[in-house]
Chain A
Amino acid sequence: MHIRTEKGERHTLSVLVDNEAGILARIAGLFSARGYNIESLTVADVTEDETISRITIVTKGAPGVIEQIIAQLDRLVPVHKVTDLTAQGPHVERELALVKVRGTGDHRIEALRLAEVYRARVIDATTSSFVFEVTGGPEKIDKFLELMREVGLIEVARTGVAAIVRGRDAA
């Protein structure tokens, strides 16, 4: 007998929660306890009085699993609202990456040229390295990193996805 694993589709969930101690552990623990995936997770308070945080979770699962994830999140007492941005329709996703690249000569010039194409800004430089700041959707960042690997990628810090619905209304 072999262990079977299920394939799934990527969903971006936006979760409004009370900004209180332990909330992140509650959310992350729910995912690990029930065997759900977390591809990325971002959290920050988003109201003037700092009482509400928005957690953006990118997860992967079969449709039934996504439905369960939303229902399970909704069941937590400090969770106010769960929105499946992927199911809801038009929304924008952005993340920010800090990318350290080392190189001299042609590699250095190529790195700068590519950074310009990807609208990455240089935020630190030495004679043999750069740190680029690049924002965009996860695919754009992935692509940029792929190119930087060829010219001398050293390390990366990524924020994970923040997302919001398009248009004038709140989700």
Chain B
Amino acid sequence: MPTERSGADILIEALTDLGVEVVFGYPGGAVLPIYDVIFKQTRIRHILVRQEGGAVHAAEGYARATGKPGVVLVTSGPGATNAVTGIVDALMDSIPLVIITGQVPTGLIGSDAFQECDTVGITRHCTKHNYLVKDPAKLGDIVHEAFHIATSGRPGPVVIDLPKDVQIATAAYRKPGTGALPHKGYRPQVKPETALIGAAVEMMASAKRPILYTGGGIINSGPAASQLLRELQKLTGAPVTSTLMGLGAYPASGEAWLGMLGMHGTYEANMAMNQCDLMVCLGARYDDRVTGRLDAFSPNSTKIHVDIDRSSHNKTVQVDLPIVGDVGRAMEEMIRLWKASAHHAPDLSDWWAQIAEWRAKDSLAFPPSEAEIMPQEAVRRLHEATKARKPIITTEVGQHQMWAALYMGFDAPNKWLTSGGLGTMGYGLPAAIGAQLGNPNALVIDVAGEASIQMNIQEMATATQYKLPVKVFILNNEYMGMVRQWQDLTYGGRHSHSYSDSLPDFVRLAEAYGWTGIRIETPDQLDAGIQQMLDTDGPVLVDCRVSKVANCFPMIPSGAAHTEMILHANEVSGEMDDEAKALV
């Protein structure tokens, strides 16, 4: 008969058995029993954030940079509701998280008790799964099951809502492996059907204008999947493009790299998507930011779609060969069957000649300036100064995010952490903190905007407390630049509330938090400022003053096709019709 212990003890024991090393959290009344257990142990490190939203993004950054699940612990009511944005963010970007929320005692549930909210109700549709635990005897198994669900199949966030009396009541805890079987209704299909892979290989062998359209699924599949992608590319000779979430799976320095695709993708990537005869989608989901106008999306191609989530197939784009399974396993099978049938790389010289013409447009060129720092130039120099150290880059959301995606150049997976699906401003700083905790010796830089950074600026104190040497590089143009850009494109340049008024003095703000603050104001200060940032121990914030009016191009305007890209600011008309205005 195993000895009984409290629910709070069982929780920490289960987390320890699962190999959890770091928990991001914030205490409160409904989780005090758990915090008392944390106080009395040394195996799990608790990182105290400054707002629960920061805890979830930090856990996301940790998860994406390490490949391990991120763990969050918050209290009931406002603790849980503050966590919701990050939970949705993790759901949209398929990030494995387990979020433990305190809840009022079971007897008070439904009574509008102090700091009560219906956490399972609120998070039911923004989690992969959630639990309200009413019996401490079931807690251990639920924690193990939650980790299994969060990390397997298409990863995502799982919430465990734990009433305070269940944290105190006692029960026995069973070690993993001795517990109940995994959920009967949950059987993600990991292994793709061989016959379908065979069909895909034959299509790739006979394609004249193939393209590999890759996404975050390859990152989620693990580092081996990125290596398999490189091998598959070598065998087939096909060009590679990627979504925002998939950057780094194929090296940006690789010869077959076309750059990112989609709304702010390169000309060659989008034209190749439009003109290809075979599209091999590997772990991406035909997001609206990728496809542009659906009825004009790659009209003449045959489409293969590998996705571990069956609901991603035919959701927005009808595909010819949907394959359910882990994208890494699928590519492994493709390589095996390709070699077994002794296929040679097809002659794609006409296709590559066409791509070379598109590349010659040099769509990432931007107008140079000697008077002010062009934001693209700032990111390019930051990349040049840091690439040897293989930095982990996080971002906030907006123009700076797109510039970082386009000009940083990623050669390895798990180095690029950004909020893609939900587009959450305020993601970058806490994500950088999480990434740094998982990779203590790495160079971690949050490329930020002056508006986004203020959404979770309080997390600077978290970096200070845990001596995390994260760098924040703000492209400060005094505008919510992407909002301003859309107002320029669509609303006749009427800048309704997109000016960042009353900005703080970021250098003094950094110093107030115990960071080093650096200001870069002119092009000639750029390299020295970046170097000073890199040479400074501890956390550094750089306030880099960039061109106030630069917009982010290339761009496919909302509701337009891949062939209707705007490459330069002088092609902007300033107004759009209602159909275009109504699109996201």
Query: What residues of chain A have their CB less than 8 Å away from a CB belonging to chain B?
Result: 1, 17-18, 21-22, 25-26, 29-30, 33, 64, 67-68, 71-72, 74-80
Q: Which residue from chain A places its CB closest to the CB of B580 in the assembled complex?
A: A1
Q: How far is the CA of A135 from the CA of B19 in the complex (A)?
A: 57
Count residues on chain B whose CB falls below 8 Å from chain A CBs: 22
Smallest distance from the beta carbon of B126 to chain A beta carbons, Å? 9
Is A22 a contact partner of B314 (Cβ separation < 8 A)? no
Chain A positions within 8 Å of B184 at CB level: 18, 80
Is A21 a contact partner of B310 (Cβ separation < 8 A)? no
Is A21 a contact partner of B125 (Cβ separation < 8 A)? no
> Any chain A CB within 8 A of the CB of B149?
yes
Set B132, B183, B314, B318: member contacting A77, Cβ < 8 A: B183
Q: Among the interface residues B124, B132, B311, which one has the most CB atoms of the partner chain A within 10 A?
A: B311
Is A71 a contact partner of B185 (Cβ separation < 8 A)? no
Q: Which residue from chain B places its CB closest to the CB of A33 in the assembled complex?
A: B125
Is B314 a contact partner of A64 (Cβ separation < 8 A)? yes
Smallest distance from the beta carbon of B217 to chain A beta carbons, Å? 15
Set B124, B129, B183: member contacting A29, Cβ < 8 A: B124
Could you give 14 example pairs across A and B, Cβ below 8 Å?
Answer: A1-B579, A21-B132, A22-B120, A22-B121, A26-B124, A29-B125, A33-B125, A68-B311, A68-B315, A71-B311, A75-B311, A78-B183, A79-B185, A80-B184
Q: How far is the CA of A22 from the CA of B122 in the complex (A)?
A: 12
Known: A29-B124, A33-B125. A80 touches B311 (CB 8 A): no
Q: Which residue from chain B places its CB closest to the CB of A78 in the assembled complex?
A: B185
Q: How far is the CA of A74 from the CA of B309 in the complex (A)?
A: 10
Q: How far is the CA of A80 from the CA of B185 in the complex (A)?
A: 4
Known: A1-B578, A80-B184. A74 touches B124 (CB 8 A): no
Is A77 a contact partner of B309 (Cβ separation < 8 A)? no
> Any chain A CB within 8 A of the CB of B313?
yes
Q: Which residue from chain A places its CB closest to the CB of B129 in the assembled complex?
A: A77
Smallest distance from the beta carbon of B186 to chain A beta carbons, Å? 5
Q: Which residue from chain B places its CB closest to the CB of A63 in the assembled complex?
A: B314
> Any chain A CB within 8 A of the CB of B128?
yes
Smallest distance from the beta carbon of A35 to chain B beta carbons, Å? 13
Set B121, B309, B311, B313: member contacting A25, Cβ < 8 A: B121
Q: Is the interface of B mostly helix, strand, loop or mixed?
A: loop
Chain A positions within 8 Å of B186 at CB level: 77
Smallest distance from the beta carbon of B97 to chain A beta carbons, Å? 15
Q: Which of B156-211 contact A (CB under 8 A)?
A: 183-186
Known A21-B132, A25-B124; further 19 A-B contacts with Cβ < 8 A: A17-B185, A18-B184, A18-B185, A22-B120, A22-B121, A22-B132, A29-B124, A29-B125, A64-B314, A68-B315, A72-B311, A74-B310, A75-B310, A75-B311, A76-B129, A77-B129, A77-B149, A80-B184, A80-B185
Q: How far is the CA of A48 from the CA of B129 in the complex (A)?
A: 26
Smallest distance from the beta carbon of A69 to chain B beta carbons, Å? 9
Q: How far is the CA of A72 from the CA of B128 in the complex (A)?
A: 11
Q: How far is the CA of A118 from the CA of B310 in the complex (A)?
A: 44
Q: How far is the CA of A135 from the CA of B314 in the complex (A)?
A: 38
Smallest distance from the beta carbon of A170 to chain B beta carbons, Å? 16
Q: How far is the CA of A25 from the CA of B183 in the complex (A)?
A: 19
Smallest distance from the beta carbon of B90 to chain A beta carbons, Å? 16
Q: Which 6 A-B pairs have the closest CB atoms?
A: A71-B311, A1-B578, A77-B129, A80-B185, A71-B310, A77-B186
Smallest distance from the beta carbon of A2 to chain B beta carbons, Å? 10
> Any chain A CB within 8 A of the CB of B582?
yes
Chain B positions within 8 Å of A25 at CB level: 121, 124
Q: How far is the CA of A18 from the CA of B184 in the complex (A)?
A: 9
Q: Which residue from chain B places its CB closest to the CB of A26 in the assembled complex?
A: B124
Is B125 a contact partner of A30 (Cβ separation < 8 A)? yes
Chain A positions within 8 Å of B579 at CB level: 1
Known: A77-B149, A77-B185. A71 touches B313 (CB 8 A): yes
Smallest distance from the beta carbon of B187 to chain A beta carbons, Å? 9
Chain B positions within 8 Å of A68 at CB level: 311, 314-315
Smallest distance from the beta carbon of B183 to chain A beta carbons, Å? 6
Is A67 a contact partner of B314 (Cβ separation < 8 A)? yes
Chain B positions within 8 Å of A78 at CB level: 183, 185
Q: How far is the CA of A146 from the CA of B125 in the complex (A)?
A: 39
Smallest distance from the beta carbon of B557 to chain A beta carbons, Å? 17
Known: A1-B578, A22-B120, A67-B314. A75 touches B309 (CB 8 A): yes
Q: Which of B570-584 contact A (CB under 8 A)?
A: 578-579, 582
Q: How far is the CA of A34 from the CA of B579 in the complex (A)?
A: 22
Chain B positions within 8 Å of A67 at CB level: 314
Chain A positions within 8 Å of B128 at CB level: 77
Q: How far is the CA of A17 from the CA of B185 in the complex (A)?
A: 8
Chain B positions within 8 Å of A77 at CB level: 128-129, 149, 183, 185-186
